[in-house]
Structure 1
Amino acid sequence: MITYKKTLLAAFCMLLLTACKDENSTENKSEDLTAYLKDTTSGIKTGGVQVVQINTPKGKFNVWTKRIGNNPKIKLLLLNGGPGATHEYFECIESFLPAEGIEFIYYDQLGCGNSDNPNDPSLWDLPRFVEEVEQVRQALKLDKDNFYLLGHSWGGILASQYALKYQQNMKGLIISNMMMSAIEYDKYADEVLAKQMDPKVLAKIREIEKNKDFENPQYMELLVPNFYSKHILRLDASKWPEPVNRSFAKINQSLYVTMQGPSEFGLSGKLEKWDITKELPKITVPTLSIGAKYDTMDPEHMKWIATQVRNGTYLYCENGSHMSMYDDQQTYMTGLIKFLKETSK
């Protein structure tokens, strides 16, 4: 009987201890959430929006940023692709990163979205964009103890080029869906992607490009089902997520054509000869390279990047394409979160 009572008492104590732990856990989560959502800015609250004034060779302009969350150890600045798209296609991140307590910052580069558009092609220049990112970093008070930079597509070019010059100010780098050589990208587009297309369709696309008839509506009519829905975002275009459509609808064509060129097969603008493959070993900060099976970028090249930087990790999205944050979402977000948390310790 005494043994039975002792057993009951032990069980009761265990239940009480478990309940206390659960209560403490709930309280800790509540405290974490309160800290994450706390707006630490002074003055009038703007929902995290901060307009940053930047200096350029053509004068001062304003660029738009918006902070989501508050985490002193992880502050992730997002660089959109295009070139010339907007931050908006990154909105899918809101379904994942806040739940993990990760702070991230939307940012429209000059000429994009909510930022000033000076309509001056001389400002569409990679070194100038690098200096712009540095000015934004300083204004947002990001530093080597918390500053992560994620660049997707063209943003990956900008992020990697920034790291080569300013990595002393960084905690980590994410190169998402972007090869480190325009020359290798052109080669992959020509020798791999083009050959996967229906020869008749490809011939018509090549004819339009040869004639520089890029305003021909047939160009996009051919590209959307035969290229975009297979290598940009693997969904029927009618089912593309609204944030993607909203972002792409606002693309700055002047910026896009100046940097990328008018063709979808490779680069022919200012970035045509861009190549930093031999400089990758200079990047010493923790670096995550993200590639996808159906991407416009060679996934083997993306894997190779992780072996060339000093401290690299590779994330492979087996079901993804260029917008793998949408068409292989769980893989992309899980891998991104894992990288951010492990390197922030």
Structure 2
Amino acid sequence: MKNLIISATILLLLSCQAKNDLKDEKTSYLDLRETGVKSAGIKMIPVHNGAYKVWTKRIGNNPRMKVLLLHGGPAATHEYFESFESFFPQEGIEFYYYDQLGSYYSDQPTDSSLWTTARFVEEVEEVRKALQLDNSNFYLLGNSWGGILAMEYALKYQQNLKGLIICNMMASCPDYGKYADEVLAKQFEPSVLQEIRAIEAKKDFSNPRYMELLMPNFYEKHLCRFPASEMPDPVNRTFKHLNPTIYTLMQGPSEFGISGRLEKWDIKARLPEITVPTLTVGATHDTMDPKHMEWMSTQVKKGHFLLCPEGSHMSMWDDQQHFFPGVVKFIKAVDNNSF
């Protein structure tokens, strides 16, 4: 009887200790280490030598795994990344939303000379320094245009990175345009494609008919695979808050191909220079060629490829069952040196 009492007491103490450890871990993750006025992890960071400010928001607290999210567009917003809140916190991964300069929650200057890849790279570096991220904990995740920015950042500043995640972006905009013309365009009904091309030939992009055609025939099939009436709210808010001036200048009038300042961007030959652990994420229904994304993973020094078979350009929404487990697995593998 005495031994039973002792055993029960030990089990009770161990159970209490486990609960306390779990509570401490949860409290630690939720503690943003804020001093003064609490701001829910939001920080406005000076960039471009202090001329402007960009918006960031921190969620979680993990000294070893910190992910900075680079949104697409250019000049979209962090909002379509809000699905990460349903996955990263339970894995204990700290992450940062960040609206790049010109985007909705950050300053929006009108100087067109600011909208270059090189300047955006320096902006990311300023943000990294302000958030005190370093190669012991810093993972950079870029989607679409954010993938371009992530690759360019790695080529200049990879000594600051622990891991790189390139989502739904090829290493060549000419190849992206070719894929749109030679693969995706052929999936349109001929009459629909003819009307789209006629509008493009006239550069009549303000014509509402242009998006009326692209939304059901392209965006709902290759950008985010939901009917327009069921599009996730964060995605709708991103579309609503997109800065069309910067987007058109750099990308062109739509996601169907590319014709802006990024039209000739190509770093395929430089991929072997990227030596940090790298995950490339492609999707079967993407605007980008998933085979190209897989090839990219073989060109970097330490690459791995994740395919989202049900996903499109926003696989964090339409193929969450593959996207998030794959991304989390990569981050944790790099963290514990098992990658």
Q: TM-score range by the shorter chain?
A: over 0.9
- Mark the structure with the bigger radius of gyration: 1
Question: What's the CA shift for 1:9?
Answer: 9.2
Instruction: Tell me the residue number matched to 2:327.
Output: 336
| 1:174 is aligned to 2:175 | no
The residue identity in structure 2 corresponding to 1:125 is: T
User: Of residues 54, 61, 86 in structure 1, which corresponds to 2:47?
Assistant: 54
Question: What's the CA shift for 1:251?
Answer: 0.4
User: Of residues 268, 275, 289 in structure 2, which corresponds to 1:277?
Assistant: 268
| 1:82 is aligned to 2:81 | no
Q: Deviations over 1:160-212 (max 9, x none)?
A: 10000000011111101000100110111001000011111001001100110
Q: Deviations over 1:47-85 (max 9, x none)?
A: 1011111125xx710111110011100110010001111
Q: Unaligned 5+ residue runs, structure 1? A: 1-7
Change in CA separation of 1:12 and 1:329 when aligned onto 2, cut-off 3 Å: farther
Contact between 1:121 and 1:254, CA under 8 Å: does it hold in 2? Answer: no
Q: How does 1:200-219 map to 2 (within 5 A)?
A: 200-219=191-210
* CA RMSD in angstroms, aligned pairs only: 1.7
How high is the sequence identity, in percent, across the aligned residues? 58
SS of 1:288's equivalent?
A: strand
Change in CA separation of 1:209 and 1:10 when aligned onto 2, cut-off 3 Å: farther
The residue identity in structure 2 corresponding to 1:143 is: D
Q: Deviations over 1:294-327 (max 9, x none)?
A: 0000010111111111111111101000111000
Q: Unaligned 5+ residue runs, structure 2? A: none
Instruction: Tell me the residue number matched to 1:27.
Output: 20
Question: What's the CA shift for 1:22?
Answer: 4.2
CA distance in 2 between counterparts of 1:41 and 1:171 reads 25
Question: What's the CA shift for 1:19?
Answer: 5.4
Q: How does 1:35-50 map to 2 (within 5 A)?
A: 35-50=28-43
The residue identity in structure 2 corresponding to 1:48 is: G
CA distance in 2 between counterparts of 1:44 and 1:340 reads 32
Contact between 2:218 and 2:256, CA under 8 Å: does it hold in 1? Answer: no
The residue identity in structure 2 corresponding to 1:72 is: P
| 1:225 is aligned to 2:216 | yes
CA distance in 1 between counterparts of 2:5 and 2:296 reads 56
| 1:193 is aligned to 2:178 | no
Q: Deviations over 1:119-145 (max 9, x none)?
A: 122111100000000011011111110
CA distance in 2 between counterparts of 1:107 and 1:20 reads 44
SS of 1:35's equivalent?
A: helix
CA distance in 2 between counterparts of 1:293 and 1:151 reads 18
| 1:101 is aligned to 2:79 | no
CA distance in 1 between counterparts of 2:314 and 2:12 reads 44
SS of 1:149's equivalent?
A: strand
The residue identity in structure 1 corresponding to 2:48 is: N
Instruction: Tell me the residue number matched to 1:118.
Output: 109
The residue identity in structure 2 corresponding to 1:260 is: Q
Instruction: Tell me the residue number matched to 1:65.
Output: 56
Question: What's the CA shift for 1:147?
Answer: 0.7
Instruction: Tell me the residue number matched to 1:160.
Output: 151
CA distance in 2 between counterparts of 1:83 and 1:180 reads 16
SS of 2:291's equivalent?
A: helix
Contact between 2:32 and 2:59, CA under 8 Å: does it hold in 1? Answer: no
Question: What's the CA shift for 1:223?
Answer: 0.5
The residue identity in structure 2 corresponding to 1:38 is: D
The residue identity in structure 2 corresponding to 1:40 is: R
Instruction: Tell me the residue number matched to 1:3.
Output: none
CA distance in 2 between counterparts of 1:328 and 1:21 reads 40
Question: What's the CA shift for 1:228?
Answer: 0.6
Instruction: Tell me the residue number matched to 1:240.
Output: 231
SS of 2:58's equivalent?
A: strand
More displaced stretch, 22-31 vs 152-161: 22-31
Q: Deviations over 1:241-273 (max 9, x none)?
A: 001100111100111011101243221111111
Question: What's the CA shift for 1:28?
Answer: 1.8
Contact between 2:32 and 2:58, CA under 8 Å: does it hold in 1? Answer: no
CA distance in 1 between counterparts of 2:299 and 2:184 reads 25
Change in CA separation of 1:14 and 1:211 when aligned onto 2, cut-off 3 Å: farther
The residue identity in structure 2 corresponding to 1:47 is: A
Aligned residues: 336
